Amino acid sequence: MQLYNKLSAQEIADMLDQSTKDRLTLSFYKYAHIKNPKLLRDHLFLSWDSLQVLGRIYVAHEGINAQLSLPSENFSSFKDHLNTISFLKDVRINVAVEHYKKSFLKLTIKVREKIVADGLDDKSFDVTKKGIHLDAQKFNHLLDDDDTICIDMRNHYESEIGHFRGAITPDVDTFRDSLPLIEKNMSEYRENKKLLMYCTGGIRCEKASAYFKHKGFKKVYQLEGGIIEYARQVKNKNLENKFIGKNFVFDERKAERISNDVIASCHQCGAPCDSHINCANEACHLLFIQCDSCKSKMDNCCSKKCKEVINLPYEQRKISRKGKHNGNKIFKKGRSDALRFKLK
């Protein structure tokens, strides 16, 4: 019984380049009480590997979080399989705005303590007791309500390139940082204001909506399906698009454009730009925004020091990295003293 990838990411990338099959990029999540996440993980791997699914999936006692791609011809079979699992029957699947064959290069299904790390240790908190879900039309309506406070539940590097007009965008690195910060800043509005939240696909604001209800907030709402589903409904129903810029995604695409607005700047020169890149120095790998001009000038690097490193002979680079571990900068996406035009 094969429960792991036989091929490397490079081998899979080469196969995808040669393939003529179109692939869909999808995501879905479901909060549920799962007794044996390991058993579910193994079952999913065996079933999805046969459907040529690639992606990053987390399974925990609290549910499942899946981001993946598969051949479009296998989509119906994939949905049929989901419907054989009781808590996933008719689960909403977000279909990406933009597709890319190589959005994922492995099938990775991991058992985690939680599907969204929240830093909480409160046994009385039930994540399934969520807030009110809104479609795009109702979300737009509530967004215009003076009694509404709209909060972006994503991280700073996500909201930097795109967000809803008028939304509060907390300057946080992780979801776990956002919960206590928002609770503190919004505490005076527990009774009288509508708390309206959104994120990429809905999973973070669903947990947040349950958390804030648990903390006594009376009027809690969330955008169902997140920005991905919002963009689809806006297009299909010819609604007003109140999202400006790009929607950051956690795969090789980095982002998908929702509007033509460019609201961010190159972190190195300040020119209008909303394209993320990882520093070419593998020992750094910092995620930051870089325009084409700086990309050419800096060889895809975040700093002169990193540029010097990648231009060393390969063997010399190996020697210079020996015994060294990646610093915290690899986790601090978009934050570095080397980035002149990034607000700290």
Ordered domains of the chain (ranges, CATH): 9-111 (3.30.70.100), 132-236 (3.40.250.10), 264-344 (no CATH)
State the pLDDT confidence band at 236, using cuts at 50, 70 and 90. Answer: very high
Structure tokens at 65: 């979080």
Annotated catalytic residue within 150, 199, 273, 306: 199
Q: Which residue has the higher pLDDT, 323 or 262?
A: 262
| DSSP strands (E only) in the chain | 23-31, 54-60, 63-71, 94-95, 107-111, 132-134, 148-152, 162-164, 194-198, 220-223, 243-248, 255-257, 276-278, 287-289
Question: What's the Cα-to-Cα distance from 39 to each of 46, 58, 147, 260, 282, rounded to whole Å?
Answer: 11, 13, 46, 45, 35
Other Cβ atoms within 10 Å of 11 Cβ, number: 12
CB of 162 closer than 8 Å to CB of 190: no
**Residues of the chain with pLDDT > 70: what percent?**
94
Q: Residue 106 — left, alpha, or beta (φ > 0 → left; ψ -120 to 50 → alpha)?
A: beta
Contact 251, 103 (CB under 8 A): yes
Beta bridge partners of 27: 67, 94
Residue 205 a catalytic site member: no
Task: Average the pLDDT over 140-162 and give the result.
Answer: 96
d(C-alpha 212, C-alpha 215), whole Å: 5
Name the 3-class secondary structure at 109: strand
5-19 pLDDT per residue, tens: 888 889 999 999 999
- Does residue 307 carry a pLDDT above 60? yes
pLDDT score recorded for residue 323: 62
